[in-house]
Amino acid sequence: MECKFVQQMRPETFAQLMRLPVQLRADLLEFIGSTPVADGEIIALIERLAGGETPGLGRAA
């Protein structure tokens, strides 16, 4: 499969992403590797995940 887009992530954003728990980090890296996501949106996703939200399910119980 050929990649048709290249994403740039700021080093600060990458550092924030790497501070997430392993499973959340893996899920987010898989997501941003499969679809174009702006750096600002990645930051928002990191903040939501770090705040206890689960991917696609809203806030964790």
Q: Is residue 27 part of a domain?
A: yes
Q: Which 3 state secondary structure label does DSSP give 50?
A: helix
The whole-number pLDDT of residue 53 equals 78
The whole-number pLDDT of residue 55 equals 64
In terms of pTM, does the model score above 0.75?
Answer: no
Q: State the DSSP H helix or E strand holding residue 42, giving kind and residue range, or none if neither.
A: helix 39-50
- Give the mean pLDDT of 5-25: 86
- Give the mean pLDDT of 37-60: 80
Q: State the first-to-last Cα distance of the chain, in angstroms, to the nearest integer.
A: 38
**CA separation, residue 28 to residues 3, 22 (Å):** 18, 10
Q: Is residue 60 part of a domain?
A: no
**Looking at the 3D structure of the chain, how many domains does it have?**
1
The whole-number pLDDT of residue 59 equals 52
- Give the mean pLDDT of 21-44: 90
Q: Is residue 57 part of a domain?
A: no
**Residue range 18-29, pLDDT digits in tens:** 999 999 999 999
